[in-house]
Amino acid sequence: MIIALLTAMYVLLGGAAGVTGGALNPAAVKQIGKQVEVAVTDPARAEAAAETLGELKTEIKAFEKAFSKSGKELTKLYKDHEADADQMLAVLDELGSDWEATQQRAIDLRFDLKKSLTEEEWAEVFDGG
Amino acid sequence: MTGKTGTIVALAVAALMLLPACAGPKGPPDPAKVQEKLTATLDGEKELIRSTVASAERADNLVALLDERDRLVAEYAESVRAYRERITALTADYGAERDSLDEAISGYNKERSEAQRQIVEVIDAMKKETTAEEWKVVAKYQIKKLNPRELAYEQAGGGS
């Protein structure tokens, strides 16, 4: 994948910060989960938070699949001397729509997570306390 | 920091921004090494074009398009950096409103869409400056060598 096409990747790897504040990927969500386990001592709220983060991880994995698929399509179009800009933009536009939908869902889950954490716990998880 | 150096640094930064999703246990790569490799790769790309494209005039046009591509990517890298700062701040803010998050995401998506359109137009123009055979050689190099993940991540000790 070339630099130009990888600008699309920023969207979902580097640029998909969303809820996590860093890269929105399964590893980052797992890390947040560990921080939540430490910060939230109430079992019921901790369990609810874990469920929310599980849903977030599922969303991200689904998007990663879409991203991988579009990456293959873009590479093919890039190699094809006859393929024009509109064909590449169609793939990128679809990916952009997927990204925005994933981000909207991530925001929904962010507010679900907020219900399970106090302000102090939130600060501990996302700010290091 | 201006001109080519600035662009290269921005490209290296852009490449590094991909790493959180794929960083290995050895941690992030050395930015100086990433930049060194990127400089060599971009120089190699221009050399390849000069030796592959039959017409000197078309080769010049193609090199100019590479410069334009790199400028656009550097500009876009700055947009990504600003977005990440914004979303990080909103994430840490317990009281952040939904509207603020929606605005940050949709605003960034518009910027990204416009940047992609400009970059794809440059790619299209590059194809038009080459024959099918020339493009096959140039595209192969670009796909193999100008992969930010490869450029940056192999410096960190490999991995996918």
Taking the CA of residue B12 and the nearest CA in chain A, the distance in Å comes to: 10
Of B18, B113, B131, the CB nearest to A9: B18
Of A7, A81, A111, the CB nearest to B132: A81
Containing structural domain, residue B52: 3-156
DSSP B43: H
Reported ipTM: 0.80
In the block, which residue shows the tokens 């992609």? Answer: B116
Chain A interface mutation, best of B19, B91, B102, highest count of A Cβ atoms under 10 Å: B91
Q: What is the distance between the alpha carbons of residues B46 and A65, in angstroms, rounded to a whole number?
A: 34
Containing structural domain, residue A95: 3-126
For residue A127, the chain B residue with the least C-alpha distance is B92
Which residues, other chains included, contact B65 with Cβ-Cβ below 8 Å and sequence gap of 6+? B122, B125, B126, B129
Would you call A14 and B122 a contact, using CB atoms and an 8 Å cutoff? no
Domain count, chain A: 1
What is residue B54's three-state secondary structure? coil
For chain A, how many helices (H) and strands (E)? 5, 0
Question: Residues A38-78: pLDDT tens digits?
Answer: 999 999 999 999 999 999 999 988 988 888 888 888 889 99
Q: What is the distance between the alpha carbons of residues B85 and B83, in angstroms, rounded to a whole number?
A: 5
Q: What is the distance between the alpha carbons of residues A115 and A109, in angstroms, rounded to a whole number?
A: 10
Domain count, chain B: 1
CB contacts, 8 Å: B113 with chain A: 92-93, 96
In tens digits, chain B (160 residues) has pLDDT values of: 344 444 444 444 444 443 333 333 345 567 777 778 888 888 999 999 999 999 999 999 999 999 998 888 888 878 888 888 888 889 889 999 999 999 998 898 888 889 889 989 999 999 999 999 999 999 999 888 876 555 444 433 333 2
Cα atoms in the 13 Å half-sphere on the side-chain side of B141 = 16
Chain B interface mutation, best of A5, A6, A7, highest count of B Cβ atoms under 10 Å: A7
Q: What is the distance between the alpha carbons of residues B69 and B30, in angstroms, rounded to a whole number?
A: 25
In the block, which residue shows the tokens 């890039």? Answer: A78
